[in-house]
Structure 1
């Protein structure tokens, strides 16, 4: 008997499917899009974004909506999990869509969870979700190794690009108080020091906090929640940042209400997270890069304003995301292709990452909102 293709080549099922998709794309589009970074090709290949939107519409039409009781009866519950309703609007009905699964890597167990959509407001979230008191279990050990490995260089670039997208808000620290919520191993706090901020960080991973303080000279990272640290609980922060943290929060309304109280008058909150309107999500479903092991909730420019409005923020501005290499200028694309990418991102989802600047009050909008597309949250 002939061995299967995966046995002969060593390909996993996922990599074999990815290779097949690339081959199909090459046949359909030729090689002229090979210079476009993989994550942006969906925006520039003729007709593809329309096909993906249709694909998404068909998925929503075909996926049944069930009561929470019916959903509970057929979905197993893990030790650290609980069933929840939509945190944005309170809807209890569920529309199950995806079951992301991750392989076993570096001695860690494989993982899987279920992602549902709220049929009322469209919010995507993991259900069952992690109980807040067990959230620290996800970061108890080993997480800092991920944050300081190959991931780190790309993070530093993305910090810079996101800050540049919002103009002068973070260009000069000028001794302003800054809190990095979910600071990890302190990579951004290190940059905040260089920019002159009076910077603090807080994180649930003890080994990450230890590594952060080892690399910092003026800033300080703390383990625990903001209210547990007197220097942070006192508030008065001019800037609060959440770098790839929002998707990890099991009680976002509580957390954002707390962060709003920590902001000084005229303060701003900067968020970078995965974008739940991404065409890449609509194309790849459960295999989307935004569905990672520790992600719990998934926001878009349609659902994040609800979170901000309900927790007391006065306005929000979103900045489109074109891809790190595109924005950094390291991807050599013809100008015609760049323009096509920009038009497609503007006309659809804003890109695979969601970048938002939330304003604490009207003073913040007046001070930092000039030149930005500020959306009032009344």
Structure 2
């Protein structure tokens, strides 16, 4: 039986786009972008804004959870938007900050229980179907930010949330003196079995002397940012660990994505262990508040499109690229943050750099109301 949505799409678009992958349709069908953006604005206008106390009074709280205000601007009011869930029995609530637009899970996981999410069997996920194209994605992103990753000789790299070491393997191949940390002990064990010179550690960076001493030229967060319950503290630490001229790479789901606006609670970015959902704007807020000097973005057109293995006809491929560049930057957000002006001068090249205010210049966080 054809769903109502598919029937409407067939009437509006005909059969021309039936063979286009569902993740690409919103970028290539005529008028789709404008329709999704209009629907998103309508959703935000209709969603109520409530005080945190009222929201907490009617929302169940899990054993390892706590209610939080917006970590980007301090606003305590909540705009409930989604309740992602799946057949495995997990579900949570996603709210939007009515002041700065940040999307986050609320109630959120308490930081001291973050390791509970990765204690049992997480490495099986990281080395199963999820991992099939990971290294291709890493290479495509490294190429998008060339020459930062072209030659690692004489340079120190930290992969935060290194999982089973798939990226560390590439980093040591490119000559980096590479280290990794992760909260999954079985993932760390698998990483060290994979690696030759690089080394993965279980725990936090400050607990490992070789890492706590800092001096890193590159820090990478591959699909990690959405998992951090206290990003301001973490990014302040990253800034301290970077050497002068250092850079930090972020790959994360994009909360500005047209796919989020199209699919709502079933969006692919709402996974079991994701806690925070960033757009280019809210990532700039995070980086500015933690002392970074600038940030540059690379659009993400999709791994298959960038690798040339998709089946899109060339006219649709060009339309997809134009839409991504004009609209949201893609379903994944790729960003390179610069620790200081030296980093911008060394690695900025001809990229568009968004200059960030220093912590001293930033406006104070408003008091929770």
TM-score (norm 1): 0.92
Give the Cα separation in 2 of the matches to 1:176 and 1:62.
51
Match of 1:54 in 2: 38
Is 1:25 the counterpart of 2:9? The answer is yes
Match of 1:10 in 2: none
Match of 1:75 in 2: 59
State how 1:27-46 maps to structure 2 within 5 Å.
27-46=11-30
Give the Cα separation in 2 of the matches to 1:314 and 1:115.
30
Match of 1:11 in 2: none
Moved segments of 4+, more than 6 Å: none
Give the Cα separation in 2 of the matches to 1:91 and 1:369.
34
Is 1:282 the counterpart of 2:261? The answer is yes
Match of 2:328 in 1: 349
Match of 1:376 in 2: 355
Match of 1:136 in 2: 115
Superposed CA deviations along residues 258-295 of structure 1, whole A, max 9, x for unmatched, are 00000000000000000000011011110100000000
Match of 1:223 in 2: 202
Match of 1:163 in 2: 142
Give the Cα separation in 1 of the matches to 2:329 and 2:75.
26
Tell me by how many angstroms 1:176 deviates.
Answer: 0.8
Tell me by how many angstroms 1:173 deviates.
Answer: 1.0
Secondary structure of 1:125's counterpart equals strand
Tell me by how many angstroms 1:26 deviates.
Answer: 3.4
Match of 2:361 in 1: none
Greater Cα shift, 325-334 or 231-240: 325-334
Tell me by how many angstroms 1:342 deviates.
Answer: 1.5
Give the Cα separation in 1 of the matches to 2:43 and 2:96.
11
Q: Which runs of 5+ in 1 are unaligned?
A: 6-15, 105-109
Give the Cα separation in 2 of the matches to 1:194 and 1:22.
46
Root-mean-square deviation over aligned CA pairs: 1.3
Q: How many residues align?
A: 357
Tell me by how many angstroms 1:150 deviates.
Answer: 1.4
Give the Cα separation in 2 of the matches to 1:307 and 1:170.
24
Match of 2:360 in 1: none
Give the Cα separation in 2 of the matches to 1:136 and 1:372.
37
Give the Cα separation in 2 of the matches to 1:377 and 1:89.
16
Is 1:335 the counterpart of 2:319? The answer is no
Tell me by how many angstroms 1:372 deviates.
Answer: 1.2
Identify which of 228, 232, 235 aligns with 1:253. Answer: 232
Is 1:197 the counterpart of 2:181? The answer is no
Tell me by how many angstroms 1:35 deviates.
Answer: 4.6
TM-score (norm 2): 0.94
